[in-house]
């Protein structure tokens, strides 16, 4: 896992990964077809957020004879409100469809959780579409379901999907 504060050298690979997972049906804020220009624009915004210290980013990379392949990524958005500096939101966990089932999502989340703890973030929150396989990953990592909201997100086919919210406390509440 590579924790990074810059996207230098990875912008196009990140944009293509975003396109690929959206096309594959991921509910991560975008609808297919996602253009390369729109995906690159999203990552430019992430780069600015990284520079401002508002978020952290991890990349799962595989080094091959052909070069470096991006297998996955995840972000941690840091709450900077005075009453929320103990919490952060897990965002955009993405694993390339051809790399799923290899433990990459779990490894990314483990790296994220370790860094969150080091940054004094004792409460992590996230959401995912009800029924997505990611729910099983989060439950397996000790996240607790906090409820669902019906018709929260639009699917690629135009139907509405419920969203499940999860949280994980890494330090007992006071």
Contact 117, 170 (CB under 8 A): yes
- The C-alpha atoms of residue 142 and residue 166 are separated, in whole angstroms, by 10
Give the mean pLDDT of the chain: 95
**Residue 93 domain flag:** yes
**Structural domain count, the chain:** 1
Could you tell me if 161 and 129 are in contact, meaning their C-beta atoms sit under 8 angstroms apart? yes
Domain that holds residue 147: 2-169
Q: Quick one: pLDDT at residue 74? A: 98
Asked if residue 174 belongs to a domain, the reply is no
Tell me the per-residue pLDDT of 127-170, one tens digit each, with 9 for 90 and over: 999 999 999 999 999 999 999 999 999 999 999 999 999 999 98
Q: How confident is the model at residue 174 (pLDDT cuts 50, 70, 90)?
A: very low
> Is residue 100 a part of any domain in this protein?
yes
**pLDDT score of 172 more than 60:** no
pTM above 0.75, yes or no: yes
Instruction: Give domain status of residue 140, yes or no.
Output: yes
Q: Indicate which CATH number applies to the domain containing 14.
A: 3.40.630.30
Q: Per-residue pLDDT tens for 60-115?
A: 999 999 999 999 999 999 999 999 999 999 999 999 999 999 999 999 999 999 99
pLDDT at 33: 97
Residue 17 domain-assigned? yes
Instruction: Name residues whose C-beta falls within 8 Å of residue 108's C-beta, 6 or more positions apart in sequence.
Output: 1, 58, 60, 72, 73, 74, 93, 95
25-48 residues labelled b (16+ CB within 10 A) or e (exposed) = ebbeebeeebeeeebbebbeebbe
What φ, ψ does residue 154 adopt, rounded to 5°?
-95, 130
């Amino acid at each position: 896992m590579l924790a990074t504060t810059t996207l230098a050298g990875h912008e196009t690979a990140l944009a293509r990964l975003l396109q690929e997972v959206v096309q594959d049906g991921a509910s991560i804020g975008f609808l297919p077809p996602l253009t390369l220009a729109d995906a690159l624009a999203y990552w430019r915004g992430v780069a600015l957020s990284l520079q401002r210290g508002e978020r952290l980013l991890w990349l799962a990379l595989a080094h091959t004879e052909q070069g470096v392949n991006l297998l996955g990524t995840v972000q941690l958005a840091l709450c900077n409100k005075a009453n929320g500096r103990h919490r952060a939101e897990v965002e955009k966990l993405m694993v390339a469809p051809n790399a799923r089932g290899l433990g990459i999502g779990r490894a990314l989340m483990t790296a994220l959780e370790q860094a969150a703890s080091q940054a004094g973030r004792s409460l992590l929150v996230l959401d995912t579409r009800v029924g997505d396989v990611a729910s099983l990953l989060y439950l397996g990592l000790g996240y607790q379901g906090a409820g669902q909201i019906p018709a929260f997100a639009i699917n690629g086919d135009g139907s509405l999907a419920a969203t499940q919210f999860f949280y994980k406390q890494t330090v007992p509440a006071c």
